[in-house]
Chains A and B, each alone.
Chain A
Amino acid sequence: MNKTILILKHEFLHMVKTKSFIIMTLALPVLVLIAMAILSFIQGIEKPLVPSDVISIGYIDEVGGFSGYTEQPGEPTVTLMGYNTPEEATSALLAGEISQYFIIPSDYVATGEIIRYTLERELEPPGKIQWALKSFLLSNLLEGQTSPEVIERTKAPMGLVSIRLDETGQVATDQGGFGALMVPLVVGFLLIISIFSSSGSLLQGLGEEKENRVMEILLSSVSARQLITGKVLGLGAAGLVQVVIWLLSAVFLVRWISTTIGGFISTIQIPDNFLVLGIVYFVLVYLFFAVLMASIGAIGANARDSQQLSMLLILPAWIPLWGLFFFLNNPDHVVSRIFTMIPVTAPLMVFVRLGTSGIPTWELVLSISVLIAGIIGGLVLAAKVFRTFVLMYGKRPRLGEIIRCLREA
């Protein structure tokens, strides 16, 4: 059997048999399932409204005229009970008849200030209480001045429905929004994790072989090119298996959950080219990182040293995550486009843009071309660096030595 294939097979089997790989590959879809089951369960237990969910709130009206509309519908129902003095309201609060009370001061119309009293220690008044008070005040302020329907509309003036049309003027199948962002963003994130996991294994393997001194035995049996190729492809194949399992389970889970649970989850969309792009970017970015990691593995004095050096590659890959809010709001900005073209940042950036505005085909082609060029260039340099430095034990070559080696290459 071809020696490259032997190394590929050995690395692949060695990787897929490790506990961490099995747990990581299978646990992720299972965790998503469990999370969704919990969400479904919580939704189920939230639905029924029992009488004890009626909240009683006291108030003292120093302005006068805030006496109508004391029942505020919603979940839970809020009942407002008027008191004449703060002392009466405090007694009711301490007796547990009301959960809180507020004072509408005589200058309320001029200042808008409302004073609230409660026994609870809280960061800020709960949203449902604020909504109930606002509804109560609006209802009473506008009473008699307009129709009840207008009063209700004033409380919630807009339910914005945004519809995206395609180039032909028809309603587009991909409506965008958070539902469309969800899957690409999560998958882009997982893609990076898998790429780092696979290329990190390559780095660690090389570091250990160098540290264990197995490297010299291997190089007396196979060429440096066969060794790197076998390792890169073997670990890459294991990573690809992981990514394909994740991608397929993402498609399956999203479809299944959206039909069984509904709600926000039912708005989650999967882009058409999602599977193909996921696999293409995994393979290319992995190869790009792998050839560079092979060089780092050769340069590092030992496995730990190599891991530290690899941070120079790993940290820039997270740039799209650091500036996520900017990129989400400006997916077509020139900075976003540049990061789509840089091999290190491309995988995350592509999926962020895929989930927001989409990416023109020419940009995808350019991004993939840059990646391929990076892989070829990296391979030439990596082979030279690997051969020169891999048997240098115990010390890291100086920068000058590496530059000289690259120049000669």
Chain B
Amino acid sequence: MPAVELNNICKSYNDNLVVNNVSFTVAQGEIFGLIGPNGAGKTTTIRMMMDITKPDSGGISILGESLNEATKNRVGYLPEERGLYRKVRVLETLVYLASLKGLGVRAARSRAEELLKRVDMLPHKEKKVEELSRGMGQIIQFLVTLIHDPQLLVLDEPFAGLDPVNTKLLKEMILELRNQGKAIILSTHMMNEVEALCDRILMINKGCTVLYGELAEIKSRYRNNSVFLEFGGVLGDIGGVVGKKEHGDYVELFLDKETPPQKILRQLASRGVSVNRFEVSTPSLNEIFLQVVEKGR
């Protein structure tokens, strides 16, 4: 049973179609990247999943059923537009928001203290939220998302505004959650984080799905069939190479469609070229993102 299943959902505001026939599934124990440029429809899609906004058409299934009060208690949501009660103390905030997720007050208090300890913020539990730094506030908000031990976490831009230390902490915790079998949807503009964390991705642009699938498969689909080579000796002409680009201490060799990289490596070895580095070039997700968005304009 997938943790999330969206089937052909559509949503429009004032005759403007902001989500157009989007479908995807997210499995348990998976980190799923939801990416796209600003205004692509990511947040609207998430809000429909969270039952904050109703879709005009299409079906949404969360943890095997349509989102109701019981399933809401099994979902953790970190919205992009975030904040907390500024005048309320950290522990009180965590306990109140956890109780709205079905946790008893005593259990919520114990869990809150456990999580605060995990992020080294236990000494701050009696502080008012307004007394915390922005980064600390965001960590507290992240704790709100997982305090009730949800099966599904939806994190909209979780790393925005975090310093490298807190980013690392958050990434570690996300991976821990994945290892515990939780399904995690990660919506972010930080493509390096998506590449580091996600198993599969969905990219939407102007409300439509433009990329969907395994990250590795998508990257191989967008490979431009070139290799990076750092060598010693004389290179000469190599069969199957249609172009060459110097990058200082290494070169990029562009291969024709029929030549696999292994064939080049064999040729180099037979000529006695000393190979210090041989790497099949793969476009970064950021490059793919830019390429897809540019194409859509």
Contacts and interface: CB of A to CB of B under 8 A. Distances in A.
Interface of A: 1, 3, 6-7, 10, 208-209, 211-214, 216-223, 391, 393, 401
Nearest to A224: B52
Given A391-B47, A391-B52, A216 B82 contact: yes
A145 to B, nearest CB: 81
Interface stretch (B27-35, B93-101, B171-179): B93-101
| 10 A-B pairs with the lowest CB-CB distances in the bound complex, closest first | A213-B83, A212-B83, A220-B77, A216-B79, A221-B100, A213-B81, A220-B50, A219-B52, A213-B82, A221-B101
Contacts of B127: none
Interface string B63-97: 00000010011010101011111100000000011
A223 B97 CA distance: 14
B85 A3 contact: no
Contact of A213 (B52, B53, B79): B79
A72 to B, nearest CB: 67
29 contacts: A1-B99, A3-B69, A3-B100, A6-B100, A7-B100, A209-B85, A212-B84, A212-B85, A212-B86, A213-B81, A213-B83, A214-B85, A216-B77, A216-B81, A217-B97, A218-B100, A219-B50, A220-B50, A220-B52, A220-B72, A220-B79, A221-B72, A221-B73, A221-B97, A221-B101, A391-B47, A391-B52, A391-B53, A391-B81
A209 B83 CA distance: 9
Nearest to B98: A221
Give the interface SS of chain B, mostly helix, strand, loop or mixed. loop
Contacts of A220: 50-52, 72, 75, 77, 79
Interface of B: 14, 47, 50-53, 69, 72-73, 75, 77, 79, 81-86, 96-97, 99-101, 141, 144
Contact of B96 (A10, A208, A213, A401): A10
A200 B72 CA distance: 30
A293 to B, nearest CB: 19
Contacts of A222: 69, 72, 100
B79 A217 contact: yes
A359 B149 CA distance: 59
Contacts of B81: 213, 216, 391, 393
A216 B52 contact: yes
B52 A214 contact: no
Contacts of A214: 83-85
Contacts of A1: 99
A292 to B, nearest CB: 23
A235 to B, nearest CB: 15
Nearest to B87: A208
A30 to B, nearest CB: 27
B119 to A, nearest CB: 18
Contacts of A218: 100
Given A214-B85, A220-B50, A221-B72, A401 B14 contact: yes
A205 to B, nearest CB: 10
Contacts of B83: 211-214
Contacts of B100: 3, 6-7, 218, 221-222
A211 B83 CA distance: 8
Contacts of A212: 83-86
B77 to A, nearest CB: 4
Contacts of A216: 47, 52, 77, 79, 81-82
B81 to A, nearest CB: 4
A18 B99 CA distance: 22
